[in-house]
Structure 1
Amino acid sequence: MEKKRSNADAEQFLKSVLDTLPMRVFWKDTDSNFVGANNLFLNDLKVASLAELIGKNDYHFTLNKKESEAFQRDDREVMESGVAKLGIEEPQSIKGEATRWLRTNKMPLTDKHGKVIGLVGTYEDITEQVNYRKEIELQALIDPLTKLANRRKLQQKIDLFTGECAGLLFIDLDYFKSVNDSLGHFIGDLLLTLVAARLKKIALDKGGLVARLGGDEFSIFVPLENHPQYQMKMAKLAGAVIDELLQPFEVDSHVLNIGASIGITMMTGKDAEYTKAFREADMAMYVAKEKGRGNFQFYNETMRLETERKHLVQQHLHLAIEAGEFSLVFQPQVNTQGDVIGAEALLRWHNAELGMVAPDEFIPLAEETGLIHKLGKWVFESSMETLVRFQEANNIHPDFKLAINVSSKQFRNLNIVSEVEHAIVSRGLSPNNVQIEITESLLIDNKDIAVRSMLKLQSLGVSIAIDDFGTGYSSLAYIANLPIDKLKIDRSFITDLHLKSTNRKLVDTLVNMSKSLHLEVIAEGVENKQERDVLIDLGCSQFQGYLFSRPVPADKLIKDFLA
């Protein structure tokens, strides 16, 4: 009797201890049926007494069958292995309660012989921690400004895609930078949120994921069925995006107009990989930009080859000046009497690996990378060295001018005037023998900066010519008040001039209006006598082109024309 009382007292003492613990405690037999628990555990399961718990298992209290199966599976692992399983994080759904998350520890129970006779478990409710963690993880996938998916979420979506076919749009906003620069980042951010809303609306019925990649770059990922029309669907979507973003935006009393250039790549579930897809769509987007913005382009293999070529040229370009790979050739400019009254300095680049690289290929890269300033300075210094040699010749025309091309990016260099002056004066040359050639685009993109520099150069005595006139956006009326000395009529208007009446009328107008503005006119690209004769009839008295000479090294120009 005393022994029974002692056992009962021990059990009561143990129960009191378990009930005071700040954790849920339970124990089960080898069939995973409950055989005991403390009050916290009973309260959690909404069980009125221990009698209602004993003999039952997880299936009686957990609403979700998969959750119960997971609990039972854990029980078997612990009892079969005899090894504790700690820190198990699993959800549990019980009647009348929202799904909660538990962190459970399960340890095997053994008899005095070491035989497993059940298990004891404890758990704590970690629902708040899990929800907080999920919120943090969710925030890590969301762009905080627009509330769209971010780059990381897009990457997950693409890398996990296993469907038949999908398309990716890479959207870069046109003219957004000017909004930020002129109105500030606050207005720019408001505009981005409106752009996001429009993109989301367009993509909603396509089942697409809209993401902001950063800055003014967005993306739309669209799963598709693999059939012959899938590219057309992406083209329609891209067209809809462009049309929608061309519509004015009202932002804080401002009416703003932007646009978009879009690159598109297609993929299947077998080859869907974010890095590859992003690279391809990015290439296609840049091609769209180069074609004039406001359009879309599909990625193709040619773009990859061109991009690889671009990177290769760019690598060699950085070393080309120090390696002495650049040289200058000079194309004579003549008057109606055939006198050489000037020459245009033209840059050439020969690389041992690449061969001859055309200026149309490497000049844009030099501008893009900022090397144009260093390269432009080399061109000017080398041109002045050559001008010294020209002036030492016996037969140089008194009004001879050496024309040097200067890009719009060079004109943004605030030191350009002082650099030009130093290159001329340090060699004892006269600025009157130097002519700077600029393009019409410079007058459109950087008018204020350009005009200030042009006026300073003119004050030194350097003359200013507009190259390729007629191919840009400016008109004679526009340039009437600009510091210009000469117009170069683009070769596209000169070719077959004697056969094209429209070109003849246009050139006639340009020559007469230039004279009324007291501007000199020179025609470039003159290749035959018929073109020259028509130009003379129209009153043009200066010419440049293959009829007179191809671009030649300085030694040959001196020998053939100035000696």
Structure 2
Amino acid sequence: MNADVHVLVVDDNENNRFMLVRYLHRLGFRQIAEADDGTSALARIRESRPDLVLLDVIMPDMDGVQMLEVLRREGRMGDMPVIMVSAHDTSEIVVRCIELGAEDYLTKPIQTPMLRARVMAILEKRRLREIELEFLTHFDPDTRLPNRHALIERIERLVAGGRRFALIAISCRNHGSIALSSGEDDATAGLRVLNDRIQASALPTDIVARVGDGTLAWLLPDVSPDHVLLRAVEDVLSGDAHGRAGIASDCTAAIASGPPVDAGEGAGDLLRLAMSEAMRVSPESSERVLIADSALRNEAREALAMLRDVERALAEGELLLYFQPIFDRDAQRLVGAEALLRWMHPVRGLLPPGAFLGAVEASPLMETLDLWVVTTASQALASWQRYLPEDFRLHVNLTAHGIMSGRLPGHVEQVVPMPLRRNLTLELTERVHVVDMPACVGALQQIRALGIQVALDDFGTGFSSLSHINLLPCDLLKIDRSFVTGVQGDPKRRRLLSSLIGMAQALELGVVAEGIEHGDELQVLQELGPLQLQGYLLGRPMPAGELLARMGG
């Protein structure tokens, strides 16, 4: 460490300088400059500030005290430690040097252990000051959070990398009044509480920074402003489980998205936009979180309203399952059914999942719905048990979000009785990207170990379908309707469909062809090989009672 420290030795006596330089070399210092009077020493310091100065007190023309006075006037003493060296140690001189900013005072003749101790102590103090300065450059000293400068640096890196992100400014509107009435410590404590609430929802890659007296900013890399994020921010600003709102009750927030659309805008512009938009919202408003982009704002609000309505529908029993039959190759014998989610809306009537699941898929509610569907399907199986054909399987759709949470296998084991597990198939849709493949594979392996079949739904249309067959443990492929529609008049499509069925056979996987709507399509599929059949031609989704009647119940 000492080898990189620049030291200036100032003494009019050549022998004294020689001895000091020699001592410093022994201590590992290599960057050592010399000056034989105060004037030349000042010139060196003005040209390049050293890390440490050893300064003789008694010198002709300009002595050490006078040199300190000049350095003090020029403002150079604040970040440059000076050790005075002199054979004179009268209290008046020592006190005067310390008053002018000298760090320490050594008397001649110099003793090496004393020099080492004093120099190393001063350099350690300097190192700690630099650490403190570096901390203050990037962190707020009161909350210990990253500061505005650190946040902008991070945003600039995201912008340079072309990565999308969301930037949320949260303004505590009562911060100033708390500081006036209770003191800055209480106001700062409120910000720490708010930070704790944010951290409870944040990912490890998120950054929370203090960007103003009463304002925190929350940066979320690789996230776009949508209704799910809007809901998360509203939860941060809402009361806790006991109804206590605390500091968050007077906060407002705004969400901006990056990178900026205008190439001329920078990180600071985006932060200012979010902060100004947060200040536009009234704490008394029913909507205390604003999305800065007006188009996204309307879209997210509509989706959030739908999400809340689905939550209500689940709680009030408006959701139900319909069942679409699945037949054998001859289209004569019922071999299964697919459970399909429906919503009996009090105003709009019966709604298919496409009318409402888009607002749910990326939210925590999706996993809740997955578990509800498994439970409800299991209850249906139990009620049909005495009428079930020997090889009947009920297919239940799951999302990758629900599977990757890790809670699904335990839930399935709990709600599906052992005798009914051979009648259940869980379908993983390939339209959803599997983010955590190891977690998904582990969950599916646990499900198969329970005796439950796993199918890949929408095969051929999702993310890397062929690699999914290799990676995901499965028993069955469901070929998407896009390969079936019009196959009777398209030789290329027929060859492709034949290849998919042949590949599944080679891998010892079962096959279900979906979306059969015309007799000609059915005929082609029956010619291609062993598979099961599903589509409107054979049976539309129906209530549980109608399916039970088909089974003879």
The structure where strand makes up a greater share of residues is: 1
**Rg: which structure is higher?**
1
| TM norm structure 2 | 0.50
Please report the TM-score for the alignment, with normalisation by the length of structure 1.
0.49
